[in-house]
Copies of this chain bind each other. A is one copy, B any other.
Amino acid sequence: MNAVESSVNAAPVADWRNYPIHANLAGVHSASDRLSVTWSDGRISPFHHQWLRDNCACNQCVFSVTREQLFEIVDAPESLHPQRTRIDEHGHLLIDWQDGHHSSFHPGWLRAHAYDDASRAERFARQPQSRLWGAELSEQLPQFDYPSVMSDDSALLQWLLAVRDIGVTQLCDVPTTEDVLPALAKRISFIRESNFGVLFDVQSKADADSNAYTAFNLPLHTDLPTRELQPGLQFLHCLVNDATGGESVFVDGFAIAEALRQEAPELFRTLCETPVEFRNRSRTSDYHCLAPIIALDARGVVSEIRMSNFLRSAFDAPVEQMPALYSAYRRFIAMTREPRFRVQRRLNAGQLWCFDNRRAMHARTEFDPASGARHFKGCYIDRDELLSRIRVLQR
């Protein structure tokens, strides 16, 4: 790359991103409905007239205070053409439109938003990828130090990247007071409330409104599959754990789903395509959600696991699909029990789990409430808030 490197904030309207110039504009050619831009590294990027007019960032088209568009593309004719195009002495692409409007595009911004195949593939390759794990994570558990995370933004960022990419993390040296969890959450964003409260107490209760609030073995599950959006991150802060039993278990739901895709593709497809209902009813609430157990993103990558056997309704599927649904469901549960996927750890007072609730299924082994106290404090934060915080820390 022989292009001039620069890292000025070059967008016409500040949006907190930099657009370094990786290649210069070398030429512009007109076609019927688009311009074809040639870059100094040989790449050719087509830009449709509509796209260019739509992305004009002048002060008439975008409000400089909010950096939000005032113009709407439907207010320009569909046939709008450039009258004149040129590359100016700063390397910007200038367009004089037929209707008298003028637009100017910074080469760094234009390259960052080019939609030729090579540019799109480059952007795709830069997206964060999940690192799948199995039982070996037990030896390499991502552990972070609470005082550092609270005081140091780079320690905070390292922790949050591990939450995003690995999905299970542990904080150590956490004070065992009830004000810790709200303070920690605030380091990231605001808390996602539910009918169980802003904070919830995981304790064995006589009047339990969830099996989570008993001393039973609680099989591997995600929390609140009964909601359209399952909570993104779950925090479990151990205040006291003097009871016998009650170890934490985690599996990587993404790793299990990918293994299922390899080992039994038709069962994987069944879990991606069959909506299953989850429900939770109490005297004051009545939640239902109907969605598949495995969700894929637009690229076909596993993006979410929704699963809690104890919150599942009776399967409701066409008669001919029922046997396949049971085969797939049985296989999935059986896989969550396989040692190759499982990490089992006791959480002690002063430790805290933070995990991706839509990826890492979690479980608790049975404990004996007569043997000692056990009290975890919990809360949720959504993935949107995690990702927003990471982007701000990375600016």
Which A residues have a C-beta under 8 Å from some C-beta of B?
15-16, 33, 46, 48, 50-51, 54-55, 63, 65-70, 72-74, 78, 113, 115-117, 120, 123, 189-195, 206-211, 213-214, 216, 219, 226-229, 275, 281, 283-290, 298, 309-312, 314-319, 322-323, 326-327, 329-330, 333-334, 337, 382-385, 387-388, 391-392, 395
A191 and B198 alpha carbons, distance in the complex (Å) = 11
The answer to whether A384 and B287 have CB atoms under 8 Å apart is yes
The answer to whether A326 and B73 have CB atoms under 8 Å apart is yes
Q: Which residues of chain B are near A317, meaning CB under 8 Å?
A: 115
Using CB atoms, name the residue of chain B closest to A226.
B384
The answer to whether A289 and B384 have CB atoms under 8 Å apart is yes
The answer to whether B281 and A74 have CB atoms under 8 Å apart is no
Using CB atoms, name the residue of chain B closest to A229.
B229
Q: Which residues of chain B are near A289, meaning CB under 8 Å?
A: 384
Using CB atoms, name the residue of chain B closest to A17.
B281
A70 and B78 alpha carbons, distance in the complex (Å) = 61
Contact of A69 among B16, B68, B310, B385 (CB under 8 A): B310
- Taking the closest CB of chain B, its distance from the CB of A315, in whole angstroms, is 6
Given contacts A74-B333, A287-B384, contact A316 B120 (CB under 8 A): yes
Given contacts A78-B330, A316-B115, contact A72 B219 (CB under 8 A): yes
- Taking the closest CB of chain B, its distance from the CB of A70, in whole angstroms, is 7
A123 and B189 alpha carbons, distance in the complex (Å) = 41
- Taking the closest CB of chain B, its distance from the CB of A135, in whole angstroms, is 20
25 CB < 8 A contacts A-B: A15-B281, A50-B326, A51-B314, A51-B315, A54-B314, A65-B206, A66-B209, A73-B329, A74-B330, A78-B330, A113-B316, A115-B318, A115-B319, A117-B319, A189-B285, A192-B193, A195-B388, A227-B384, A229-B382, A275-B298, A284-B392, A285-B388, A286-B391, A286-B395, A287-B384
The answer to whether A193 and B193 have CB atoms under 8 Å apart is yes
Contact of A318 among B117, B208, B334, B384 (CB under 8 A): B117
- Taking the closest CB of chain B, its distance from the CB of A262, in whole angstroms, is 20
Given contacts A33-B323, A216-B70, A286-B392, contact A65 B207 (CB under 8 A): yes
